[in-house]
Amino acid sequence: MRAAELIWDAWLTGKRLEGLPDDARPHDVAEGMAAQAALAELAGPVSGWKIAATTVYARQYLEVPGPLPGAMFERFHHVEGEPVPADTMTMGVAEPEFAFRLKADPGLSPSLAAVLDAVDTMFLAIELPDSRYTDHRHAGGPQLLADAACAGRFVEGRPVPGWRDLDLPRRPVVLHADGEEFARGSGSLVLGDPRLALHWLAMELPRHGRALRPGDIVTTGTATPPCPIHAGGHVVADFGELGSVEARFVRD
């Protein structure tokens, strides 16, 4: 599919698209998800999924009616402590997130309980979303889906024991950039509860011929406003009693 080829070329070269040409532009959600699936064929193994636009502000900013699912790729997955290339600079932001790793297939139309039973681990994470468009804000939902819902790099932090019994919506999250507090938030910003965001994705993907699988990572959306990043920078996401996760950025 030409849309996927154009997006993947932009991803690899750092060139940015004013938008997909008319003959390659998806016009609805189904076409956007089809383009995303074709992109995954080019980008290599999928490590899991992200959910974009889980906050009211993000949906207003992107002018989309609801959240957007995006595939994440293994080649852009990092573990905390690794230096992270600061080459995702079109958006150039970091987001603190609650993430889950699955141990089982939750099924095609699972209950919330079934989805949570399929989870192996919840862990703290930092997502570094990016876009291959010069103006992702006005790209529209179908084009954003073709671009993997602004997927970029991802930093996996420490697991959180006992997460099933925690009041995640009320857990405070503080984002620090270069030693200074940048923003505050909580798990309630993530569709009301990160677990509800995970359930939303488990219900949404089968509508597009996709599904969550054992081993998949799902990062559920930012718990604070995102902060700018730059080469040489340092970001810490502090989840209070749950711990923290950090990333240092280098020039690739």
pLDDT of 1 reads 82
Ramachandran assignment for 25, one of left (phi > 0), alpha (psi -120 to 50 degrees), beta (any other)? beta
227-236 pLDDT, tens per residue? Answer: 999 999 999 9
DSSP letter string, 164-232: GGS-GGG-EEEEEETTEEEEEEEGGGTTTSHHHHHHHHHHHGGGGT----TT-EEEEEESS--EE--TT
126-162 pLDDT, tens per residue? Answer: 999 999 999 999 999 999 999 999 999 999 999 999 9
5 or 86, higher pLDDT: 5
Q: If you average pLDDT over residues 213-221, what whole number do you get?
A: 98
Distance CA 129, CA 137 (A): 13
pTM: 0.96
Q: Is the pLDDT of residue 191 over 80?
A: yes
Q: If you average pLDDT over residues 212-226, what whole number do you get?
A: 97
- Burial class from Cβ neighbours inside 10 Å (0-12, 13-18, 19+) for residue 198 reads buried
pLDDT of 90 reads 83
**Domains recognised in the chain with CATH numbers:** 55-64+75-139+150-250 (3.90.850.10)
pLDDT of 71 reads 98
